[in-house]
Every structure is written in C-alpha cells, then in structure tokens.
Amino acid sequence: MDSAQVSQTRQNYQFSREQMEGVMKRRFFYAPSFEIYGGISGLYDYGPAGCAFQANVIDEWRKHFVLEENMLEVDCSMLTPHTVLKTSGHVDKFSDWMCKDLKSGEIFRADHLIEQVLQNRLTEHKRICNQHERDNPKLLEGQKTTKGKNGLLFKELTEEEIEDYENILARIDGFSGEDLGNIMIKYNIRNPVTFEPLQPPTAFNLMFETAIGPSGQLKGFLRPETAQGQFLNFNKLLDFNSGKVPFASASIGKSFRNEISPRAGLLRVREFLMAEIEHFLDPLDKTHPKFKTVADLKVPLLHRSAQESGETTPIIMTLGQAVRMKMIDNETLGYFMGRIYQFLIKVGADPKKLRFRQHLDTEMAHYAADCWDTELKTSYGWIECVGCADRSAYDLTVHSKKSNEKMVVKQMLPSPVEITRWEIDINRKLFGPRFRKDSKIIETALLKSTQKELQKYASSLLKDGSFAITVPGFTEEFSIDSELVTIEKKKKLEHVREYVPNVIEPSFGIGRIIYSIFEHSFWVRPEDSARGVLSFPPLVAPTKVLIVPLSNNKDLIPITTKVSEALKSIKIPFKIDDSGVSIGKRYARNDELGTPFGITIDFDSLKDESVTLRERDSTKQIRGSISDIIQSIKDISYNNISWEDSTKSLKIFQS
C-alpha cells in the first residue's frame, strides 16, 4: 500500500469505540484504578504503553513550548490552603450543578442530564417518524408515540420543541443553576431510569478538601488547576527574568476535580495531568513578535455569534485575518492558538477533527477578555482539550490585594510624563493624640486610599468639613476632619510606569488530548479485523522499533544483539520479540501498540549484516545495512524526515 491507499483505508474504517477500548484494555494502555477492588469512577491508571505515550507527549510539549519560547517552568504544590482558593474565586464559584433524586439517593450533574435526555428525545423522535412513515403514514402529528428502550413512552416532538431542544443543546455550557432548574421543569426532565422527579439544582464545589498539619485546623484543597502557583510566584519569576515583560511561566502537573458523576472514560476524570502556560504581558501591547510565523495558518473557527445563532459549522480562516477583524481579541492570543494547532497535529491529532470554539459571554469568567477552546472530535462529540484565555489582570490583582504583596511591572518611561493625582497629607501633631493607640492603623488605611476614594473624601471635606472611613478590624467608622488631613490634587512628573500585567493562558488537558489521539489513530485492516492498528506519529509512539529475529535459532542472536546495542547507544526505545509465533502475528500484535517500525533479522542477515525494515501503516518493507536502517528510523522519528525521503536509496524488500 502507498500512503494514499493507507489514508483511504483509514478513512473507510467505521470507528468502533468498543473495538478500540478492547485494544486499550488488552494491551494495558490504561485501566480503571483499583480495578481488583471494583474500581472508582473517574480514576484511571496508565499502563506501560499509555505511560510512555504520555511521557513522549509531555516531552514534546516541553520542547515545543518551554524550550522554544524560553518559558520559565515551575513545579508548585498541589496542596493549597483555603485562603489562596478563596481569593482566586474557586471556593465560591468552582462548582457544577447537581440534582438529587430523593428516593434513590442518586445524584446527577444537571447540565449533563439535560443534554442526555434532550439528545435521547431527539433521537427517538427521528426513529418514531421513520417508523410511522413506514407503518402508518396517515397518523396525525401528536398521536405518534412509541416505547423507548427503557419502556418509557416517547412522543413525537413538535417543530417548536425540536427548535427549543437544539437551541438549549447549543448553549448548554452557558446556563446558570436557575436556568437549568427552569429547563428541567419546563421540559419535564427527571431521573431517566425511574422517572422520579429531581430536586432543583444546587451548587457542588468540585475541589477535594483536606486538612493540613496535625491539629486539623488548616483547611486546604487539592489544586483544581496549576495556574495559581504560577501567579503567586509572579514577583520571583519577574525577578528571574530581570524585570522584563513579556515572559511566560509554565507548569506540568496533576490537578484534581471531584466530578459529580464521571463517565466518558479518560475524558472526564477526577485526577488529571495538565500543562499550563501563563504568558504575562503589557495590557497596552498585546502584539506578539512571532505572530507572523502563524498568521497564514488556516484554522476552523466557531466564533461566539455563530454559536448564538445556533450554528455548529466553523468557518475556515487564517489567524491573521481573524485577528485583523477582531474575531480573535489580540495577536498573542492568536499566536498561541497557532502554536496549539501545530502542537496537536505534531503529536497525532487529526486536523479534520479539530476546531476552535470561542466561549459564549455567559460561559466566560467575568474578568476574561476572550477565550477559545481547542476542541477535538471523538465518539463522545467535540471535546474541549485546550483552553486559551485572556485572563486580564484579574488573578494578580486579587492576590495582590488580599496578600498585600505588590505585583507590578515597572517600566522606565522614555520621557517623564506629567500626571495629576490626589494626594493626602496627615497632620501628625494632631493625628496621634486624637486616635492614640489606633492612630497607626487608621493612618495606614488612609494612605492606602484609592484615587477615587481620595476624591470622595476631598469633596466631603469641602462640603461637611469631615469624612468617615472604615478600618480593618473595627466595626465603628472613624471621622476625619479637615484639621487632621489635607487632600489636594497635585501635578507630578513620573519617570516610571507601573502596571499589573495581563495574562494569556493556554491550558492543556493532557489526558483528553491523549484519548482523542487514540481515537484519531485507531483503525482496523480490512484483512485482519480481529486486530487494530494505532497509527501514532513515530515522534510520540511508546516504542519506536520492534526487533524480530526470524526464528529463535541461536545463530541469529549476535546480530540481534548488535542491532539492539546500536539502538540503545542512540537512545531509541525498542523491544525484542523472539517468541515462537509467526512474524506476521508478531507484527500484528505490535501494530496494536502503535510501534511504527519493525526490524526483521533473517538468515541472509548473517551473510551481509543487512536487515529488513517494515513500516507499520503501509506494511512496506525495505532492505539495507544495519546503520542505514537505523539512520532512517532516527530521521523519521526525530528529525521530521518522511519515509519516502529517508528510504529512497534503499532496496524494496519482498519476502
């Protein structure tokens, strides 16, 4: 087969999740954690092949982002005290909506339940229509009912209902708890098995809680994202970068979400590997010097207003154009979208199953300026695998305020700038005696006043001769009169500009990416339907080479050793299969592990030290010296050279 035929055969394969999961399980790519104890939903272990694949994806991520862009990688604690996540907003807002069935005690995640039920009704509707069309074409609308798989009656839907359902499904990520509750009442959504009514949605915080230290008094959580650790270290990172902005930090590590009822395998889990970048930049300048390197990349974009009008087909557009027309908010956001696209294709995502979806206004955090999810299409639908958000100055601002640690960038101005500011002068001779032991804390509070507050105080002083302020730790207000302070507008020359940087955050769910690539890579040869093939790019394949001695004849051992030593010396991961089974079976077994190359050692190898190289997808074979063959493997796996180019000087082999 040539590569066109391979791609045709792969396209013809009708994906079966069952078939792929069979391979994943049989070859231990991953499995439910604690399976011998019955397993726990939402927790999975990666076996040797899955773990090596994950390590290779991470390694490439580090090269593609951290090394290429000189990012500052950090590794921060997962255990996180309450204060940090209270300040970031997670304690109050990081929740999903759950509904309880009081009778059975079962708990549902409201948006997922609505999605499932409405999808079901739409599917049943189609089935009923088709059936009645055949059986009894004269029935009136509304008279058509049928029993679903669970014995419940399904009714044909009106056109209005269909439109409502589709509208809800398109916007399902943007509803509040109240919205979800209203939808459930309006469309009579209940426990889909028992048909019992459910309690209205209540918020369930998704963080795992624990206590730090022996007294049990310090409440903590497992981090729900790696981002907070990066924000808290901002000053140290800025310092490490000699005070220069823009720069990016990055972090690879596990995060945790106590999902309400995780299904969908690796796609919705309670413990997951993330890779996150926080790119800190000047809010007044969101251009990117390397944007031109991705500006001509054509990508599928499903923008906000398209979704609002129920559209689900993305438009194909260059990133340059999308930024120019402000569909994508700024160059840096666009640059990262381009880099994300390149990365995902490199590690094996199918470009035809990739799209960028912009967040709806209702979906986005209130502080975010723009946010695009990179979604990969799987048998579970379109899955958010990377988020790319402009978080503005939100995180640094809230942490700075709460911790009293200034987190700003100082920029020398090319020429000084005259600015006008409200300033406060305190008459210390009177101030101390008046407030005695409290004077210090009141003074601090006064000096921390914002420009807006000072303006208000000044006008109060003018009108009433005094103003009132509240001070942390005191319930009563303090009255400050014009004897104690002077507040005036003053002109000043500033030489340094101080600002809180904004943050662009590309955030990768590694497990979701890996699972999607598994689906995108899987196919079955028409001639061998019992076994699958995983067409991973050689770069990320768990093992690069299978060495196959033709038989277990002792004479073949020295050459087998020679080949394996040669591979070991240049650190190419390989396995040897010297089991007794047929060559074909050994290769087929290994296609399931996604190993791109096979080296066969036969009795001709003894004569001239030549060996055969087999390519996984096309099953093409060529013959050459050990060193030529290994050079080809190295070039294709790591140096981005094609099979055709790298093997053109070698002989085609027919066995």
- Report the distance separating Cα 544 and Cα 534, nearest Å: 13
Interface with a copy of itself in residues 404-463 (CB under 8 A): 405
- Report the distance separating Cα 230 and Cα 75, nearest Å: 9
Among 184, 232, 388, 556, indicate the residue that binds a copy of itself (CB under 8 A).
Answer: 232
631 is an interface residue for a copy of itself by CB under 8 A: no
Residue 232: other Cβ atoms inside 10 A: 22
Interface with a copy of itself in residues 90-149 (CB under 8 A): 98, 105, 107
Nearer to a copy of itself, 298 or 402 (CB): 402
* Coil, strand or helix at 588: helix
Nearer to a copy of itself, 1 or 51 (CB): 51
Q: Distance of alpha carbon 376 from its chain centroid, rounded? A: 11
Q: Shortest gap between Cβ of 205 and a copy of itself (angstroms)? A: 10
Nearer to a copy of itself, 72 or 349 (CB): 72
- Report the distance separating Cα 251 and Cα 651, nearest Å: 46
User: For 42, how many CA atoms within 13 A lie in the half-sphere containing its CB?
Assistant: 13
Q: Shortest gap between Cβ of 207 and a copy of itself (angstroms)? A: 10
239 is an interface residue for a copy of itself by CB under 8 A: yes
Choices 76-84, 112-120, 321-329, 350-358; region in contact with a copy of itself by CB under 8 A: 76-84
- Report the distance separating Cα 137 and Cα 558, nearest Å: 76
Q: Shortest gap between Cβ of 552 and a copy of itself (angstroms)? A: 14
Interface mask toward a copy of itself for 555-594; x: CB under 8 A = -------------x--x-x-x---x---------------
Nearer to a copy of itself, 48 or 310 (CB): 48
Q: Shortest gap between Cβ of 585 and a copy of itself (angstroms)? A: 13
Beta bridge partners of 73: 250
Q: Shortest gap between Cβ of 28 and a copy of itself (angstroms)? A: 5
Q: Shortest gap between Cβ of 59 and a copy of itself (angstroms)? A: 9
Q: Which helix (H) or strand (E) holds 179?
A: helix 177-186
Interface with a copy of itself in residues 6-65 (CB under 8 A): 27-28, 31, 33-37, 40-41, 43-48, 50-52, 54-55, 62-63
Q: Shortest gap between Cβ of 41 and a copy of itself (angstroms)? A: 8
SS3 per residue for 117-168: HHHHHHHHHHHHHHHHHHHCCCCCCCCCEEECCCCCEEECCCHHHHHHHHHH
* Coil, strand or helix at 238: helix
Contact 621, 612 (CB under 8 A): yes
- Report the distance separating Cα 226 and Cα 209, nearest Å: 16
67 is an interface residue for a copy of itself by CB under 8 A: yes
Place of tokens 């074909």: 584
Interface mask toward a copy of itself for 379-408; x: CB under 8 A = --------------------x--xx-x---
245 is an interface residue for a copy of itself by CB under 8 A: no
18 burial type by CB count under 10 A (0-12 exposed, 13-18 middle, 19+ buried): exposed
398 burial type by CB count under 10 A (0-12 exposed, 13-18 middle, 19+ buried): middle
* Coil, strand or helix at 295: coil
609 is an interface residue for a copy of itself by CB under 8 A: no
Tell me how many residues contact a copy of itself (CB under 8 A): 78
Nearer to a copy of itself, 27 or 121 (CB): 27
| Paired sense of beta strands 502-509 and 381-392, if any | antiparallel
Q: What is the DSSP letter of 43?
A: -
Choices 111-119, 231-239, 281-289, 431-439; region in contact with a copy of itself by CB under 8 A: 231-239
Whole-Å CA distances, 191 to 123, 172, 184, 196, 253: 18, 19, 11, 5, 37
Q: Distance of alpha carbon 435 from its chain centroid, rounded? A: 54
- Report the distance separating Cα 614 and Cα 179, nearest Å: 57
Contact 58, 510 (CB under 8 A): yes
532 is an interface residue for a copy of itself by CB under 8 A: no
Nearer to a copy of itself, 152 or 193 (CB): 193
514 is an interface residue for a copy of itself by CB under 8 A: no
Nearer to a copy of itself, 449 or 564 (CB): 564
Nearer to a copy of itself, 554 or 571 (CB): 571
Q: Shortest gap between Cβ of 53 and a copy of itself (angstroms)? A: 10
Among 6, 24, 74, 622, indicate the residue that binds a copy of itself (CB under 8 A).
Answer: 74
Q: Shortest gap between Cβ of 561 and a copy of itself (angstroms)? A: 14
Nearer to a copy of itself, 74 or 559 (CB): 74
Interface with a copy of itself in residues 198-217 (CB under 8 A): 204, 208-215
* Coil, strand or helix at 594: coil
Among 57, 84, 117, 636, indicate the residue that binds a copy of itself (CB under 8 A).
Answer: 84
Choices 3-11, 238-246, 318-326, 468-476; region in contact with a copy of itself by CB under 8 A: 238-246
Q: Shortest gap between Cβ of 475 and a copy of itself (angstroms)? A: 24
Q: Shortest gap between Cβ of 184 and a copy of itself (angstroms)? A: 18
Q: Shortest gap between Cβ of 574 and a copy of itself (angstroms)? A: 10
- Report the distance separating Cα 69 and Cα 71, nearest Å: 5
Nearer to a copy of itself, 105 or 472 (CB): 105
77 is an interface residue for a copy of itself by CB under 8 A: yes
Nearer to a copy of itself, 257 or 288 (CB): 257
- Report the distance separating Cα 113 and Cα 99, nearest Å: 9
- Report the distance separating Cα 286 and Cα 646, nearest Å: 42
Whole-angstrom distance between the N-terminal and C-terminal Cα of the chain?
A: 15
| Paired sense of beta strands 209-212 and 202-205, if any | unpaired
Interface with a copy of itself in residues 463-492 (CB under 8 A): none
Q: Shortest gap between Cβ of 258 and a copy of itself (angstroms)? A: 7
Q: Shortest gap between Cβ of 105 and a copy of itself (angstroms)? A: 7
Contact 334, 294 (CB under 8 A): yes
- Report the distance separating Cα 350 and Cα 300, nearest Å: 13
Q: Shortest gap between Cβ of 262 and a copy of itself (angstroms)? A: 9
Q: Which helix (H) or strand (E) holds 558?
A: helix 557-569
Interface with a copy of itself in residues 249-308 (CB under 8 A): 253-254, 256, 258, 260-261, 270-271
Q: Shortest gap between Cβ of 1 and a copy of itself (angstroms)? A: 30
**Residue 395: both structure tokens together:** 């995180």
